[in-house]
Structure 1
């Protein structure tokens, strides 16, 4: 019907999308004032924006958790050298993070949508009373938790460069501490093996010196005179010492101890080589959040969190402060029409419960009508059944009266 005093503006697809996000009724909004349309448009925009921010924050958090571990500055240097960019992206992790981000954003969007649509309009005035605040408290707590989960990934992304530098310093400290601990763990074992080897090599050195001295004597003796008994005796001693040297050098205990020392050194080198990998494990989401708090300080971190809490909680307080408008009265009218159409009567503040709270009485007239019809039907069926039994009884009596012998023969014989 065309009005002379007011003609509603047409809605666009984008506007209807935002209305749907806010849980508003398109049928009513298209017939109400422009102010109502804008209010629910803004409300839906906040909910959609929160879902998008949650998707980005969740995706980044997931990427930070599952990206390949390494030196905090490695990706910075590699990307700069290869592509002229300062961000090296791991494509498989990015793909998984994108899927998770979309999924997380949809979850937050639906939770926000439920929180906002389930929040009433209070008493229809701009004031938020204590009773309204208490009623909205569970939704406020849920919204605060959601805001916190969104703000932290955003915070670590804002301070990413500073966090990478600080994290690199911590990784280097961790690496040096791990190396020192590794060296101290293997130092005792290596010292024990060195002591055993030194004892054997001390005897070996003495025999080598003895062999060298005998060789010198033999050369001098053979140069002065022909090889005589003394030279032969020296040569025999020299050969004996050479055998002793060879025996010590190839002794099983000596070879075993050297092999054990080599294995210990190899294991130590392997552990030292893994120190960089161990230090890289320090690069996690929790560690980055801690460093972000150290860098930004309590004030800035709190300000960022409060900013997201304001964005998240605005729709809740916004609905509590809404003044009743034509949309609200039309919505109530439609609800009453639907209840009347379905035979539902509500008597407000009809009785008090045990605690003294006034309660509404809900009468479902259609249910009562069906119940009465069902009761009457059952009563009629019972009455007809009774009449049928009486008629059958009378007919049997007549049959017995006309032919009692036939009735007696039909009875089963008793034992």
Structure 2
């Protein structure tokens, strides 16, 4: 029953990451009642802040209390009725997750699959839409299982042409890579805090187009003559989840404040601070910082003659996959980094289990010292495991990458 005293890890894996200090401070904010005007004012502020984060004018921009998967499930379960068709392009582990959630909602799931380490072009997705005629296109932007970033900018127009709702999970990518909700004509987006936004897992910001909201509200018509919406029964197909019922969440976050659940106040305060931190630094500046840190890490890894996994043209700014040399025990290297240097890098799963390390440069950790410490420690451990890159080559190359960027 001692006070918590966790090791001072530097989290350089695919997420979660170390939080920005100001976000940690927000966790200790004292609580007020959930309908206190001070509390509802913060909720309104958070909605306005995340419209800027998502680059949208969507009125319906709010938080789902829960991890990023809670946001995914809320948006898919609320949109899909049993028997609806959904198209899921899969290029990594999290495409399979979207497909599973849709199946559990009773949807007829159609998938297209590209080899891990690659992404889809717009024509492949359009052809699949024409072939399957889905109600929803559900896709991941950045999949940390492969470190790949799926291009989205042409998909919205395709979805509008064929009257398909366009949903995206951007948890691993937003804040570190370009994301434009309105310009790309997205209908529903969900994210989490624990990647490039620099917060803890536990809150899922979402944004919804009027098109999406109109669709899900059709499932939530209230019987005539019942005045209290909280206790009314929908006349349409019931949304399978009460907690993840988007129309009820919208009513809770609206000026009506119809009680649905008790807002996770500490996570609300964290989400607020994540957004402020991002916007004060500047969206483009934060993306550029992730691009710089990710580029320095990539250059350092390549200088140590380690092979990069996947199509490097489509790599996320904030993560890199590294092929584990055949003669190495990848888990022994990770364990030594963790226990001797207090640095965590990621392994992988599925077809990549034991084949790659995943190294992240996200949020608070997308900074020069974190990159240099990680490269130096990795080089030291590799030498201890008889894999001997030229001493100092990784750090020297990363330093040169930073120096060149500063000179431009």
TM-score per shorter chain, which class?
under 0.3
With normalisation by structure 1, the TM-score equals 0.21
With normalisation by structure 2, the TM-score equals 0.21
Greater per-residue helix proportion: 1
Higher Rg of the two aligned structures: 1
Greater per-residue strand proportion: 2
